[in-house]
Chain A
Amino acid sequence: MVVTAATTEEHPAHPEEGLSHPVTSTGLSNEKIAMWAFLGSECLLFGALISTYLLYRGRSVAGPLPSDVYDIPYTSVSSFVLLMSSLTMVMALAAMQRHDQRRMRVWLLTTALLGSVFVGGQAYEFTSFYRSGLSLHQNLFGSSFFVLTGFHGAHVTIGILMLLSLAAISWKGRLADSRVETVELIGLYWHFVDVVWIVIFTVVYLIPGVK
């Protein structure tokens, strides 16, 4: 009976009212739970790739080695670009929460642009490394480095496609103002690729070069 009273207070006529997701048994969005579970599992994927890089570090019998090819100032700028894309992503979410879809699209496109700059920078870096003699098959460093950063780049690319799709859906007027959570879920994925890069930048690029 007490439960009934509390329920009536919280959800007077329409249980969905005031929620950005359908009513669920947990009171939380199933999609958001699934996204967090997915991101938790992605930690294991990237953990495996980073561990493989660490395992092979210093075991290459032929060059080029990290110290021969890394350009820290260049990668620092790329990292900064990706970090700032997380800011523009939360700005897009904030705009959606205010039901300002025009501004949300601007922020989404800015995020996609910054992501593209990062991926373009990575493509340039890969090309530059290849010209220096480092390939996927050259040595253990090349194999583990390209697989790790390539996987991350693929994740960023998927994120860019999701951002562009969301902006296009909104542009066509097919995104209801109540779908704040859709923006938030794509944002979670985007921030995750950002935090993974935070780890890669420090562990793969910076620490091995410390003298």
Chain B
Amino acid sequence: MTDEAALVSPEPGVEEHYPSEWQYIKVALLLFVITMGEVGIYYVTGARQAVTTLMLAMMAVKFSLVALYFMHLRFDSKLFRRLFVTGLILAIAVYIIALTSLHVFSR
């Protein structure tokens, strides 16, 4: 019983460290501003490469904000982060390799 219980090591205070409601609102405002920025630069002409890169960067920031703050990956156990990031990296790697081999990016 003791040994079984000894394996239990909840990360103390994990839930207490979740963001406050005001912090959630600030993150949402930031997401709103970035989205408006994305739509704004969509109409910029003559700098396709730069705009595309900027859009991908903004997308990555939005994705990270939701995952880290709304999904609590920043505050929860590292195991959850690893599970999600493993799936994400695997997906990105597999499909970039597949698309590259099919010459999608060089068209």
Q: Which residues of A contact B (CB under 8 A)?
A: 3-4, 6-7, 10-11, 15, 19-20, 23-28, 32-33, 36-37, 39-44, 46-48, 50-51, 54-55, 57-58, 72-73, 76, 79-80, 83-84, 86-87, 89-91, 94, 97, 180, 184, 187-188, 191-192, 194-195, 198-199, 201-203, 206-207, 209-211
For B11, B21, B83, the residue with the greatest tally of chain A CB atoms inside 10 Å of its CB is B83
A26 to B78, CA, bound (A): 12
Chain A's closest residue to B58 (CB) is A202
Find chain A residues with CB under 8 A from B24 CB.
87, 90-91, 94
Instruction: Please tell me the size bucket of the interface on B.
Output: 35 or more
Instruction: Decide: B70 and A210 in contact? CB cutoff 8 A.
Output: no
Contacts of A51 in B (CB 8 A): 95, 98-99
Can you list 19 A-B pairs, Cβ within 8 angstroms, ordered by A?
A3-B6, A6-B6, A7-B2, A10-B12, A11-B8, A26-B79, A40-B84, A40-B85, A40-B88, A40-B90, A42-B87, A44-B91, A46-B91, A80-B32, A80-B35, A84-B28, A187-B70, A202-B59, A209-B42
The residues of B that contact A91 with a CB separation of less than 8 Å are 21, 24
In the complex, residue of chain A having the shortest beta-carbon distance to the beta carbon of B24? A90
Q: Report A135 CB to chain B, min CB distance, Å.
A: 24
Alpha-carbon distance A4/B67, docked complex (angstroms): 37
B87–A32 CB distance below 8 A: no
Interface of A is mostly: helix
What is the bound-complex CA distance between A61 and B58, given in angstroms?
A: 32
Residues of B within 8 A of A19 (CB): 10
Chain A residues within an 8 Å CB radius of B85? 40
Please determine whether A195 and B67 come into contact, CB atoms closer than 8 angstroms: yes
Give the chain B neighbours of A207 by CB distance below 8 A: 52, 55-56
Q: Which residues of B contact A44 (CB under 8 A)?
A: 87, 90-91, 94
**Least Cβ–Cβ distance between A82 and chain B, in angstroms:** 10
Residue of A33, A57, A79 near B79 (CB, 8 A) is A33
Smallest Cβ-Cβ distance to B10: which chain A residue: A27
Task: Please give, as numbers and ranges, the residues of chain B lying within 8 Å of A20 by CB-CB distance.
Answer: 15
Q: Which of A33, A42, A47, A203 contacts B92 (CB 8 A)?
A: A47
A198/B62 in contact, CB under 8 A: yes
User: Complex formed: what's the CA distance from A51 to B79 in Å?
Assistant: 28
How far apart are A156's CB and chain B's nearest CB, in angstroms? 15
Q: Are A23 and B91 in contact (CB under 8 A)?
A: no
Q: Are B66 and A210 within 8 A (Cβ)?
A: no
Q: Closest Cβ of chain B: how far from A86's Cβ, in Å? A: 5
Q: A11-B5, A89-B70 are in contact. Are A32 and B80 (CB under 8 A)?
A: yes
> What CA separation (Å) do A6 and B3 show in the bound complex?
11
